[in-house]
Amino acid sequence: MLTGTLISGLGLGSMYGLVALGFHLTFAVSGTVNFAQGSAVTLGAVLGYVFGVRLGWPMPLAIAASLAGCALLGLAVERLLVRPFVTRGSDAWLLATVAGGIILDNALLFTFGKEPRSLPSSLVAAPVEILGAGVYPLQLLIPVVGVAAALAIRTVFQRTELGRGLLAVAQNAEAARLMGIDVARTVACAFALSAVLAGAAGLLIAPLFSVSAEMGALFGIKAFAVAILGGIGSATGVVLAGLLYGLLEAGVTATLGSGATQIVVFSVIILALALRPNGLLGRAGVNKV
Amino acid sequence: MPRRRPEARPLTRRLALGVLLSGFVGLSPVRAAEPVRIGLVTALSGQSAKSGEAISRGIGLAIDEINRAGGVLGRPLELVARDDEANPSKGVLAARELIQRAGVVALIGGLDTPVSMAIVPIANQMKVPFVGPWAAGTGITRNGAADNYAFRVSAVDALVDEALVAYAVKTYGAKKPGAILVNNAWGESNQQGLVAALKAANLPSAGIEKFEANDIDMVPQLSRLRDAGADALFLVGNVGPSAQVVKSLDRMGWTVPVVSHWGPAGGRFDELAGPGAARVRFVQTFTFAGNDAPKAKAVLEALKAKDPAIKSMADVTPAVGIANAYDATHLIALAIQAAGATQGPKVRDGFYKISGYSGLIKTYDKPFTPERHDALGPDDYVFARFQNGEIVAVTK
């Protein structure tokens, strides 16, 4: 039972981590987040189903096309729901992105249909046995993708020109602009990449779950909790928090029973934030005067 | 003594008389052909839309037949449908509007137990019969009201739970079954029912676990049941999470028999759950597949003739929605006929006067009494499973 619980927890935890990385990315660059992340999870899975199953494209092509679709969504969210408000110094992007997510969910319900559908994958065809627990190969792939994405983002920020540009924008947009960095394009890139991460999470979870127009909503909420818990400014913290969240969820369900899961998990989150208000690996914001 | 204004009263009187007269003149010719309206409050949009479509199809076909045979009380029967969006407060608004504005003689309900539970007190208060063709919550008909207007032609949770326990014992020799239920009012209703049914059957329980409707991985809950020694599982949940339970069982390599409420029938269960879907036996009140009754064949043909979108049996799902609503509509017409009037209390007593009706699900013999407001019971439940996308009965 322990192995099964561990693997369930790590798998789900990495999903939360991936979506939460998207929150981290846009927050680090622009101080804003896209609350339609849950809808981007749905969009990734729905497009994967439409391209891969309904249109019968080869899977690699279907995946690439789905992620491209998510990138477009990220760009649209930034251009239409975030930038118009941020440039006027308004925080209305909070509501605008929530509203955008609701619109997208309903549009998907309208076009994709109400019934959940199945996205088959060779990675969930037969379970393999690890220490007495049945595991689908896909479940092992999910944590790998999650950790790899976190490391990649960290490396990009620390080692590359683009990453340093992103950080510069985050620290002082005006100064970055004067240094010749295209701030608007950098922020747009962050939103596109953030939606791609969510879409990847949707594509990874779809074969284990089912594809439906409302699959992403709960993910979006849990991932936001994970982002805050990890410290939204830290990529490593966010993924770590995702894994811990997933393990805690599975662990509580296995030991205390499913009735206690949400109560215990969210109590622990509140307690953790009381002890570390900026998240596990977050740093307090410094206001320079 | 104040002076009266002689011109005021006569004018008002004349006006009142005119209005009255024009009302009579306008109404009297229409009255003769004015239809008897029945209302439908169900989910016609969103995730549950398919259930609403099935109910509408069943009612539509029955109304066609009734009107071809001369209607009720010499008047045509007419349906007025409203969408409750699976939301109790919207259902309540729609029910009030149908009773007060559209003047419906009876209401037909939908899929969702919480919506029906919200409408029933209004039906009782306004004395308009409510007939449920789907939602199985025990409290809908057994609502404790002194003057009960709620009837049902569908499964009843408390009785389904007894049937599930009996089936697990008879078919699988279960000695210590466990249960995995959705964490909402429907799961709650069945938790009570299962506990009572297990107690009545003198069986120990391996435990009752819950899942959220959006849960993906039920391995932790199922592991607890396996460790507790469950030799059969009772499952209550809609089609999506039910499929996740089966997938989790497959991954665990646990080949425990699963006896389920009718959630899996609500969608593409075998596509979602994969090959493991075949192991799940679920309760139904009716199936078209494997049903040789002449009435079932005739209704299927009539449905195909009425709606070109219906080509095969895979298009008439969920069959329970169609069949329950079809029989419910005919029973409402018989009740109005037996009452000889359209006033609520008389129609309600009309239900008790129905002596018999040869329906789609069965031949009803005195289906309703003041003590029994449910036309179907455990003897009418059929256990079924999925086979190539169709719901097939496995045993009576």
List residues bridging with B280 in a β-sheet.
B258
Look at residue B83 and give its three-state secondary structure. Answer: strand
* Sign of the alpha-carbon dihedral angle for B156, B157, B160, B161: negative
A114/B46 touch (CB, cutoff 8 Å), yes or no: yes
pLDDT in tens, A14-60: 989 999 999 998 898 888 889 999 999 999 999 999 999 999 999 99
Q: How far apart are CA B40 and CA B62, in angstroms?
A: 14
Q: Which residue has the higher pLDDT, B395 or B227?
A: B227
How many domains, chain B? 2
- Dump the DSSP string for A232-282: TT-HHHHHHHHHHHHHHHHHHHHHH-GGGHHHHHHHHHHHHHHHSTT-SS-
Q: B273 with B176, same domain? A: yes
- For residue A209, which of A51, A48, A5 has the smallest C-alpha distance? A48
Phi, psi of A128 (to 5 degrees): -105, 155
Query: Is the Cβ–Cβ distance between B51 and B83 less than 8 Å?
Result: no
Which residues in chain A have Cβ-Cβ distances shorter than 8 Å to B272? 116-118, 210
Show the beta-strand stretches assigned E in A133-262.
Answer: 133-135
Q: How far apart are CA B48 and CA A113, in angstroms?
A: 11
CATH at B241? 3.40.50.2300
Q: How far apart are CA B50 and CA B67, in angstroms?
A: 26
Q: How far apart are CA B292 and CA B307, in angstroms?
A: 22
Measured between CA atoms, the residue of chain B closest to residue A250 is B220
Query: Is B238's pLDDT higher than 60?
Result: yes
| Domain hosting residue B166, numbered range | 158-284
A1: closest CA of chain B, how far (Å): 6
Here the tokens at position A140 are 């092992």
Q: What is the mean pLDDT of residues B328-350?
A: 96
A127/B247 touch (CB, cutoff 8 Å), yes or no: no
Q: How far apart are CA B396 and CA B384, in angstroms?
A: 9
Residue with tokens 């981007």: A40
Which residues in chain B have Cβ-Cβ distances shorter than 8 Å to A4? 219-220, 223, 252
In a domain, B323, yes or no: yes
Q: B134 with B168, same domain? A: no
- B80-to-A161, B77, B246 alpha-carbon distances in Å: 66, 10, 40
Query: Is B32's pLDDT higher than 60?
Result: no
Which residues in chain A have Cβ-Cβ distances shorter than 8 Å to B49? 114
In a domain, B86, yes or no: yes
Percent of chain B residues past pLDDT 70, beyond the cut: 90
Nearest-by-Cβ selection for A134 from B214, B251, B274: B251
A95: which DSSP letter? H
Query: Is B31's pLDDT higher than 50?
Result: no
Measured between CA atoms, the residue of chain A closest to residue B249 is A134
In a domain, B388, yes or no: no
- For residue A202, which of A213, A190, A188, A191 has the smallest C-alpha distance? A213
Look at residue B49 and give its three-state secondary structure. Answer: helix
Measured between CA atoms, the residue of chain A closest to residue B184 is A259
State residue A132's pLDDT score.
73
Q: Which residue has the higher pLDDT, B202 or A143?
A: B202
Q: B190 with B300, same domain? A: no
Antiparallel, parallel or unpaired: β B356-358 and B280-284 = unpaired
In a domain, B356, yes or no: yes
Within 10 angstroms of residue B199's Cβ, the number of other Cβ atoms is 12
Residue B18 CB contacts under 8 Å (≥ 6 apart), including other chains: none
B217/A208 touch (CB, cutoff 8 Å), yes or no: yes
Q: B173 with B64, same domain? A: no
A210/B240 touch (CB, cutoff 8 Å), yes or no: yes
A12/B217 touch (CB, cutoff 8 Å), yes or no: yes
In a domain, B265, yes or no: yes
Q: How far apart are CA A202 and CA A215, in angstroms?
A: 9
Q: B167 with B266, same domain? A: yes
Element (H, E) at B178: strand B178-182
State residue B341's pLDDT score.
94
Query: Is the Cβ–Cβ distance between B237 and B221 less than 8 Å?
Result: no
Interface test with B, best of A19, A110, A117, A118 (most B CBs within 10 A): A118
How many interface pairs between A and B have CB atoms less than 8 angstroms apart?
87
Q: B106 with B130, same domain? A: yes
Within 10 angstroms of residue B163's Cβ, the number of other Cβ atoms is 22
* Sign of the alpha-carbon dihedral angle for A139, B47, B87, B109: negative
Q: Where among B284, B318, B350 does a domain terminate? A: B284
A115/B50 touch (CB, cutoff 8 Å), yes or no: yes
pLDDT in tens, B171-195: 999 999 999 999 887 898 899 999 9
Percent of chain B residues past pLDDT 90, beyond the cut: 65
Q: B279 with B162, same domain? A: yes
Residue B6 CB contacts under 8 Å (≥ 6 apart), including other chains: none
Out of B143-152, B210-219, B310-319, pick the least confident: B310-319
Phi, psi of B273 (to 5 degrees): -90, -15
Query: Is the Cβ–Cβ distance between B135 and B55 less than 8 Å?
Result: no
Antiparallel, parallel or unpaired: β B280-284 and B382-387 = antiparallel
pLDDT band at A165 (very low <50, low <70, confident <90, very high): confident
Q: Where among B252, B284, B316 does a domain terminate? A: B284
Domain-wise residue ranges, chain A: 10-116+130-216
Q: B143 with B166, same domain? A: no
Nearest-by-Cβ selection for A212 from B220, B223, B240: B240
A153: closest CA of chain B, how far (Å): 27
Q: B184 with B257, same domain? A: yes
Out of A111-125, A234-248, B236-250, pick the least confident: A111-125
> Virtual CA dihedral for B220, B224, B225, B227, nearest 10 degrees?
130
Interface test with A, best of B217, B249, B252, B269 (most A CBs within 10 A): B217
Helix A216-230 vs helix A235-256: angle between axes, to the nearest 10 degrees? 120
Residues of B with CB under 8 A from a CB of A: 46-50, 183, 207, 209-212, 214, 216-217, 219-221, 223-224, 227, 239-240, 243-244, 247, 250-253, 267-268, 271-272, 274
State residue B17's pLDDT score.
52
Look at residue B150 and give its three-state secondary structure. Answer: strand
- For residue B335, which of B346, B326, B324, B327 has the smallest C-alpha distance? B346
Which residues in chain B have Cβ-Cβ distances shorter than 8 Å to A214? 47
Q: How far apart are CA A65 and CA B173, in angstroms?
A: 51
Query: Is A288's pLDDT higher than 70?
Result: no
Q: How far apart are CA A26 and CA A48, in angstroms?
A: 24
Query: Is the Cβ–Cβ distance between A18 and A146 less than 8 Å?
Result: yes
pLDDT in tens, B101-110: 999 999 999 9
Query: Is the Cβ–Cβ distance between B359 and B330 less than 8 Å?
Result: yes
Q: B163 with B251, same domain? A: yes
Whole-number mean pLDDT of chain A?
87
- B144-to-A172, B140, B150, B241 alpha-carbon distances in Å: 67, 9, 11, 32
In a domain, B29, yes or no: no
When mean pLDDT is compared over A271-275, B279-283, B390-394, the highest value belongs to: B279-283
Q: B139 with B189, same domain? A: no
A118/B210 touch (CB, cutoff 8 Å), yes or no: no
pLDDT band at B30 (very low <50, low <70, confident <90, very high): very low
**pTM for this model (two decimals):** 0.78
Nearest-by-Cβ selection for B217 from A8, A127, A259: A8
Q: How far apart are CA B36 and CA B47, in angstroms?
A: 31
Residue B92 CB contacts under 8 Å (≥ 6 apart), including other chains: B118, B119, B122
Query: Is A234's pLDDT higher than 90?
Result: no
- For residue A31, which of A174, A161, A169, A181 has the smallest C-alpha distance? A169
Q: B118 with B201, same domain? A: no
Q: Where among B284, B307, B337 does a domain terminate? A: B284
A114/B47 touch (CB, cutoff 8 Å), yes or no: yes
Nearest-by-Cβ selection for B211 from A12, A127, A258: A258
